[in-house]
């Protein structure tokens, strides 16, 4: 049992009962006592449980919502059901920069309001609000309204994504930059050779399967399996990828380009085992990433240190190859996911792309779709040929 509080006792005293603290018992709410404290902790804990286990929100998102709610309550110094619009206004005013007078960034206010609105909706459920009314003679009211969240609406209306999708020419340019760096590393007998080969494969797999960087670096061999579709039998055991990503949403993405499958298979046979056998690791044979444990020998893209490939190092690599390739835009791992979606939509359909992207809303998927302005109505519905004929030379 985690986070158990143990109280000191004498040899003659009975053992203290061990109990797991609630999600809301954070050592705060010290200005409350008695039933007001108990009710406050319980309603916050129940709200957190609903977010986590019924709404499917990720643990870190639940924690962020909790922290944002506690900021408001601690500032107002009232029980949650006593929060009013005035408390929200005073809280936001208190966050104004004292030197410049600049208010909070709209994105920050939007995050706060998202958490507060979620808790407000939970608290205003009829049964809960009636119980609070009976117990404390006060009915909870809305403290997040259309008026005090208008700045958030304006921010969302004016929001424009900073992400973009690579064109086929840019993909080719980055691939050529990778190949040039790999050749230089080979001729110079550089230790970076294997890492460069791995990162090049990660670049293409990330685009082809439209993966988030956290999903990409933690891919395991067990995530791939053959496809039951007869038209995809030639992909063998790499036919489809099943991946669990953001908010624990699981989906299956098909392999569709023989050249990407061939590149991945070449890497698995020629590079991956060299990285694994030369890594610096513990005797346990396991590693952790973002709280999850993985068997190191099953990772598709292990690092030289024995864990998953570092997202930060991959970001730096993309920045370096983009600079060498003459790419003007800022190339980072999430651009690969946007690029993958942009290639998927005309190839399949927006609805099928939504399924493969593992988005709950089609609107979200369309936000990842960046068609060429002139060719938006005439996209070529064919997978790209990423690689040259000499792909599998010893140098690469």
Taking the C-alpha atoms of residue 130 and residue 134, their distance in angstroms, rounded to an integer, is: 6
**Angle subtended by helix axes 258-270 and 193-208, to nearest 10:** 150
117: annotated active-site residue: no
Q: In what order do the strands lie in the sheet with 240-244?
A: 224-225, 240-244, 250-254
Q: How many beta carbons lie within 10 A of that of residue 105, not counting itself?
A: 10
Q: Is 246 a catalytic residue?
A: yes
| Residue 142 annotated in active site | no
- Identify the active-site residue in 90, 135, 246, 360: 246
How far is 141 from 121, CA to CA, in rounded Å? 10
Clarify whether 332 is annotated catalytic: no
Q: Is 356 a catalytic residue?
A: no
Rounded Cα distance between 302 and 311, Å, is 11
To the query of whether residue 234 is one of the catalytic residues in this protein, the response is no
Q: Where are the alpha helices (DSSP H) in 137-256?
A: 150-157, 168-187, 193-208, 213-217
CA angle 106, 341, 367 (to 5 degrees): 25
Give the active site residue among 200, 272, 337, 338: 337
CA atoms of 311 and 199, how far apart (whole Å): 11
Sign of CA pseudo-dihedral 308, 368, 63, 109: positive
* From 267, 359, 369, 370, active-site residue: 359
Question: What residues contact 19, with CB distance under 8 A and at least 6 apart?
Answer: 4
Nearest C-alpha neighbor of 211 from the set 252, 179, 172: 252
Active centre residues (catalytic): 212, 246, 334, 337, 359, 368
């Amino acid at each position: 049992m985690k986070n158990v509080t143990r109280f000191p006792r004498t040899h003659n005293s009975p053992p203290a009962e061990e109990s797991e603290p609630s999600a809301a018992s954070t050592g705060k709410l010290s200005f409350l006592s008695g039933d007001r404290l108990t009710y406050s902790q319980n309603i916050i804990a129940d709200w957190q449980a609903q977010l986590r286990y019924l709404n499917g929100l990720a643990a870190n998102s639940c924690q962020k919502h909790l922290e944002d709610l506690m900021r408001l309550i601690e500032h107002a110094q009232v029980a949650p059901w006593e929060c009013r619009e005035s408390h929200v206004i005073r809280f936001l005013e208190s966050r104004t920069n004292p030197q410049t007078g600049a208010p909070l960034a709209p994105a920050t206010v939007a995050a706060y309001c998202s958490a507060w609105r979620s808790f407000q909706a939970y608290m205003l459920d009829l049964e809960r609000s009636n119980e609070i009314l009976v117990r404390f003679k006060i009915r909870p009211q809305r403290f997040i309204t259309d008026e005090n969240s208008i700045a958030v609406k304006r921010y969302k209306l004016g929001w424009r994504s900073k992400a973009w999708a690579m064109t086929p020419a840019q993909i080719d340019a980055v691939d050529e930059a990778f190949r040039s760096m790999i050749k230089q590393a080979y001729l110079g007998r550089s230790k970076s050779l294997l890492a460069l080969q791995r990162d090049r494969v990660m670049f293409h797999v990330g685009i082809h399967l439209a993966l988030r960087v956290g999903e990409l670096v933690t891919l395991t061999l067990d995530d791939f399996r053959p496809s039951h579709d007869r038209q995809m039998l030639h992909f063998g055991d790499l036919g489809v990828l099943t991946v669990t990503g953001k908010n624990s949403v699981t989906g299956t993405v098909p392999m569709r380009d023989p050249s990407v499958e061939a590149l991945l298979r070449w890497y698995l046979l020629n590079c991956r085992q060299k990285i694994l056998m030369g890594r610096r690791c513990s005797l346990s044979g396991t590693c952790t990433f973002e709280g999850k444990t993985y068997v190191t020998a099953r990772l598709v893209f292990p690092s030289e240190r024995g864990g998953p490939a570092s997202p930060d190092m991959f970001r730096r690599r993309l920045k370096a190859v983009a600079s060498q390739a003459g790419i003007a835009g800022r190339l980072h791992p999430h651009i690969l996911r946007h690029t993958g979606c942009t290639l998927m939509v005309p190839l399949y359909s927006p609805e099928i792309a939504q399924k493969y992207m593992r988005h709950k809303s089609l609107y979200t998927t369309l936000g990842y779709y960046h068609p060429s302005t002139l060719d938006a109505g005439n996209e070529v519905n064919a997978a790209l040929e990423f690689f040259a004929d000499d792909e599998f030379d010893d140098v690469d």
